[in-house]
Amino acid sequence: MAPVPQTMTAIEVSEPGPPRALRPTKRPVPELRPEEVLIRVVAAGVNRPDVMQRKGAYPPPRGVTDIPGLEVAGEVVRVGAQASSRSVGERVCALVAGGGYAEFVAAPAVQCLPIPPPLALIEAAALPETFFTVYLNVFERAALAPGESFLVHGGSSGIGTTAILLAKADGARVFATAGTRAKCDACLELGADRAILYREEDFVEAVREATGGRGADVILDMVGGDYLARDVAAAAVEGRIAIIALLGGPRAEIDLLPFLLKRLKLSASTLRPQSIESKGRLARALLERVWPWFETGRLRAPPIHARVPLEEAWRAHELMEEGSHVGKIVLTVAAA
């Protein structure tokens, strides 16, 4: 195994701003806390929260590196004193609270997962952020059950593609909204039973029609704003609405009466500030319940829209903000 150098290439936000604010720099290789492992990064997933961090709208939690990047895959090259659950030489993917856009990253051992066969490292790098998020919000908090109907907004996004694949693998009936015909086709190709072109169709009507007037049992919403009232209208009796982002704005005016009459539940959460224990618990749940689905072919990896060299991270953000991607954008590390 190649020796671990003192310094590494990493991407920093020179100052909050446009994609070009992302610049390669030299940083010391991270020091390990006892519960962490050091990963030589082969690939790092790009997520919308990284874009918000670059713009200065989503600062890293206290004590977390300013280097962006919430997920990686690579090889364990050092193991902290209390991280013996992992070993040097192991190939893992990991959820991190920051620091993924770099040649090396420190990750809590409990937030690492093995690369699920038959996935490549690059595909595995694109799993943790969306899998932890979807599993927590859809399967745990909103308790989607096999046979229920599920609506996801932004169906072609990183989160959306993962949500479609996971919900279908678990036996739900899946509806997805998307902004273009091509994105709708991508949602159908991933297994969605119905894709709704929201610019031309009212998703409330479409979901009602597809469910014989019943509505969706679970709705995963990354839009917020005026979508919330429409989610309430599209929800079934005993429906659960899970909000994970507010791309359409943070304010909503809703009629609470349908909440009472339909006995609805509303939940909202962000993953990043949660404790290592909580993320470790989610990692174990994914390992036990979801990872075997890859091996049996019940689940495939979300699509990778583009691979971009680490040094050109700005280009990955440009692509994401341009907004025509389907699935994930991944940074690759040449030295790995």
Least distance in angstroms from the C-beta of 126 to ligand NAP: 10
Q: Is 71 in the site for ligand NAP (CB under 6 A)?
A: no
Give the helix/strand (H/E) hosting 124: helix 121-125
Least distance between ligand NAP and beta carbon 88 (Å): 30
Contact status: 218 vs ligand NAP (CB under 6 A): no
Nearer to ligand NAP, 69 or 154 (CB): 154
Structure tokens at 172: 């739900």
Residue span binding ligand NAP (CB under 6 A) among the ranges 144-152, 168-176, 200-208, 269-277 = 269-277
Size of residue set near ligand NAP by CB under 6 A: 25
208 token code pair: 């009602």
**Applying CB under 6 A, does 245 fall inside the site for ligand NAP?**
yes
Q: Which of 32, 125, 46 is nearest to 78 (CA)?
A: 32
Contact 169, 299 (CB under 8 A): yes
178 binds ligand NAP (CB under 6 A): yes
Q: Does 53 bind ligand NAP (CB under 6 A)?
A: no
CB of residue 37 vs ligand NAP: minimum separation in angstroms?
23
Q: Give the CB-side neighbour count of residue 311, counting CA atoms within 13 A.
A: 5
Distance from C-alpha of 125 to C-alpha of 51, rounded to nearest angstrom: 18
Of 192, 148, 146, residue with least CA distance to 171:
146
**Is 156 or 211 the residue whose CB approaches ligand NAP more closely?**
156
The alpha carbon of 213 is separated from its chain's Cα centroid by a whole number of angstroms, namely 31
Q: Distance between CA atoms of 124 and 119, rounded to whole angstroms?
A: 6
**Residue 133 contacts ligand NAP per CB under 6 A:** yes
Give the CA distances from residue 283 to residues 9, 112, 128, 133, 272, in Å, rounded to whole numbers and listed in that order: 28, 7, 9, 11, 14
Q: How many CB atoms lie within 10 A of CB 2?
A: 9
223 is a contact residue toward ligand NAP (CB under 6 A) = yes
Part of the chain binding ligand NAP (CB under 6 A), chosen from 35-43, 207-215, 243-251, 256-264? 243-251
CB of 92 to ligand NAP, least distance (A): 20
Interaction between residue 183 and ligand NAP (CB under 6 A)? yes
Binding status of residue 111 toward ligand NAP by CB under 6 A: no
Interface of this chain with ligand NAP, residues 141 to 170, rule: CB under 6 A: 153-154, 156-159
State the pairing for strand pair 304-309/104-108: unpaired
Q: Which of 55/91 has CB closer to ligand NAP?
A: 55
Cis status, amide bond into 118, omega within 30 of 0: yes
- The residues that touch ligand NAP, with contacts defined as CB under 6 A, are 47-49, 129, 133, 153-154, 156-159, 178-179, 183, 222-223, 244-245, 247-248, 269-271, 320, 323
